[in-house]
Chain A
Amino acid sequence: MSLPAAHARLAARARLAAHARSSRATAAVPTAAQLSLRRGMSAPASDHPPLETQEDWTQFQLQNAEYESLISFYSDFGSTQKRENSFQPHHPLHRPTPGQSLTVSHLLAAGAHMGHSQSLMNPHFLPYAYGVRAGITVIDLDHTVPLLRRAAQVVRAVTSRGGSVIFVGTRPDLRAVVRKAAERVGERAFHLGEKWFAGTLSNRLEMFNLVRTEVKEQLIPDLVIFLNPIPNLYAIKDCSAHHVPTIALVDSNVDPRVVTYPIPANDESTRTAELVAGILSIAGREGVALRREDLERQAARAKKLQRVREAALSRGQPE
C-alpha cells in the first residue's frame, strides 16, 4: 500500500505530540486552517485546488492523514466513550454474541420482543406471547432465551456429527447475514439469500441436473435454519416432507408448530436476525471443531491399531 501516507501520519502525530508537550499550559485549539482540512466539509469547490497531478493527490492524502491524526491525538483528552468501546451498527454481524453470554437485554436491544399486530396473532403462538402493548403482541423473551440455546445445541450436535446446515434468509438485508453465518461455520454449511426454488428437495435431480447420472454428493441437508419463515412456508413443508429438522424465527403471526425448533422472536428486525444467526453459527463452528478433533482421535487410534497389528504379525511370523 502507500507508505507515504503511513509515514505522514506518524510524522504528523510526532509533530503534534511535541507541540502539545511544549505548550501544555495553553489549550491547543485547532486552527481554522486545520479545521478547513476536514474531508467532506461543505466548502465551495473554488476553495479547493483542483487535483490534476499525482502530487496533488498525494498532498490530498497527506492532508486527510494529518486531520485524522489531529483528531485521534486530541481524542485522548476528550470523552472516554470512543468508537472502539461503543456499539456500532456493523457489530451484530461481524462481532456476534456467543450463546453462553446471551441475556434478555441482548434480545431487547435487538428489538426481538416486538411481534405483529394483536389482531394478526396466531392462536398457537399464545404460549410465547407476553402480552399486548400499543396494539402489538409483545413476545416473552424468557421463553426465547432457552429456545434459542436449545436451537444452538441442535446446530452444534448436527455439525459435530458431520451434518450439513443451510442458513436461509430470503430478504435483501438478510443476504449478508446468512452468508456470514455459513462462512463462520465453515465446512458443510450453505447459505441461501435468494428464493428457495420449489422442488429443491422433492425435484432435486432435475433442479441440479443429475438425472441419469450417479449422484456422488449428499443433496439433502441435515438441518435448515430459516430467518424469515413466512415467505418460505412451502420450503418448510418441503423440508418436513423429507424429514429434515428445521429451526426458524417465528413471529406472532406464525404457528410455531410448523418447524421442529421454533425461536419466538421478531422476524422483521435485521439486528435480531444477526443476533440469532450469530449465536447459531458460533455453535456450528464449535461443532465443526469438535468433529475435527473426533476425526483426528479416530485417525490416531486407527494408526495405533495398525502399528499393533503389524507388530503382532512380525512377531507371529518367526514363531
Chain B
Amino acid sequence: MNVVRNAVHNALRPALRSRPYATYVPPASLKEVGPGQRPWLSSRQPPESPNFYTGRAEYYDSLNDLETSIQHTRAALTSLQLLPLPAFARAAIPPAQHVWQTKQDIIQRMRMTLSTTRYRRLIKLLNQLDQYRRIADVAGVDVLTERIEGVLSVFEKPNKEAILAHGKKKPVAFDDYGRTYTIGRRKTSTARVWTIAVQRPPEEPVEEQNADGQTADEEVLPQMESTVVSAIEYIPPKPVKVTSTNIVINNRPLVEYFPQLADRERVILPFKIAGLVGAYNVFSIVRGGGSTGQSGAISLGIAKALAAHVPDVEPLLQKAKLLRRDPRMVERKKTNRRKARAAVRRPCFHRLRRY
C-alpha cells in the first residue's frame, strides 16, 4: 500500500508544487510581513484566456470573437442605413449558401471535445454573420464584405467552392496562353482537344487607292470573265485572303489522319456552323474506336471549345446538335440471334410447301 501511495505521490509531486490554497494574511498579522514580502502576490502568471475557468477556453474565445464581430457589423450596417431591413428588402437578399465545417472538423482543429449543443450555438452565430455579409455584398459595401469573409473563412470548409459547384456544369478554363482543354467522346473513342485562337499578324497600314479601286502594290489577282448579263452594273466582290489553320490529330495533320472526306467534314462542321473557319488552331490526342468514332469525338471537343471561346455561338451549335454527346453505342449481340438484331436464317416455308 505504501509503495502505491509513494508512487502516486511521486507522480503528483510536480503538480503539488502549485499552492493548494490561497495565501491570505489577516490584517492583524500584517506587521509581521515586511514591505518586500507580499505573500499574496503570486509569482505565477494568470491564465491567458478570460474564458479559462469554463474549461473550454478556445471554444468560448471563438464564440466571444464572433459575438463582437456581429456587434460591430450591426453597428456599421445601421449607420449605412442597411439595418433594420423591411420585408421587401429582405426578399431581395440572395439565399444563404454556406458550407460550415462539421463538428468533427472543429474537434480536430481545436483538439477538444465539442457537444452538439455548443456546435449549434457556434453555427447560429455564423449564420447571423453570414446574413450580414450577404446584405453588405448585395448593397455593394466591399470593405465590410471582405472583413466579414475573413472572419467567416476560419469556419468554412476549405473546398467550399467545389462543394457549391457540385452537380453544376464546370466552366471551361482558359490557361495563361488562352488555350482551352475540352474532351469529346463518341462510341468508344475519347478525344482530348486543345484549341487556341489563330494569332493574326499585325495589319499593314492601308495605302492610298488608285482610281481603279486597287492599291498600287497589290497584285492584280486573276478575275474571271463575268457571265452575268444584267442592266445593273455588276461589281465583282474583292477576293478575301483566307488564313490557313492547323488541325493536328495524334501528331498528324487532319488530311493525313482522316483520308475519308466524311470524317474530315465531321471534324470541320462545328467551325462551319459557327462561321469561324480559319479562326482557331486545334491539337488533339484521340484514342479508341474507329474513324467515325474518333472524328465524332473530335467534333464534340471542338464544339465545346468554340462555345467557350465565343459564347454567342453556343445557341447555333446547340441547334445543330453538335454540343450533344451522341449516346449511341454498339448494341451487344444476343443469344439466338446472328448479331444484335439480325435473326438466324429461317427456312423458307412456301418453297417446302410445294412438296
Interface residues of chain A, those whose CB is within 8 Å of chain B, are: 1-2, 5, 39-41, 45, 48, 50-52, 54, 57-58, 60-62, 64-65, 68, 161-164, 166, 179, 182-183, 187-194, 196-197, 200, 205, 207-208, 210-222, 242-245
Contacts and interface: CB of A to CB of B under 8 A. Distances in A.
B113 to A, nearest CB: 12
Contact of B139 (A61, A213, A220): A61
B349 interface: no
B271 interface: no
A221 B141 CA distance: 45
Contact of B15 (A163, A215, A221): A215
Nearest to A188: B46
Contacts of A197: 55
Nearest to A187: B46
Contacts of A163: 40, 42
A207 B262 CA distance: 80
B53 A190 contact: yes
Contacts of B51: 190-192
A162 B92 CA distance: 54
A192 B56 CA distance: 11
Closest 5 CB pairs of A and B: A64-B81, A51-B92, A218-B44, A215-B18, A57-B139
Contacts of B92: 50-52
User: Which of B11, B44, B55, B82 has most chain A Cβ within 10 Å?
Assistant: B55
Given A189-B50, A208-B52, A218-B44, 6 more contacts: A60-B81, A61-B80, A161-B38, A162-B42, A192-B54, A243-B24
Nearest to A204: B18
A40 B83 CA distance: 10
Interface residues of B, number: 45
B21 A200 contact: no
B41 interface: yes
B76 interface: yes
Contacts of A244: 22
A211 B12 CA distance: 7
A82 B14 CA distance: 62
Contacts of A196: 53
13 contacts: A1-B80, A51-B138, A61-B82, A182-B50, A183-B50, A189-B50, A194-B54, A194-B60, A200-B55, A208-B55, A215-B14, A218-B42, A243-B24
Interface in B73-87: 76, 79-82, 84, 86-87
A190 B22 CA distance: 17
A135 to B, nearest CB: 37
Contacts of A192: 51, 53-54
B18 A219 contact: yes
B17 interface: yes
A57 B140 CA distance: 8
Contacts of A162: 41-42
A243 B22 contact: yes
Contacts of B53: 166, 190, 192, 196, 200, 221
Contact of B22 (A48, A187, A205, A222): A222
Contact of B144 (A1, A48, A58, A183): A1
B164 to A, nearest CB: 23
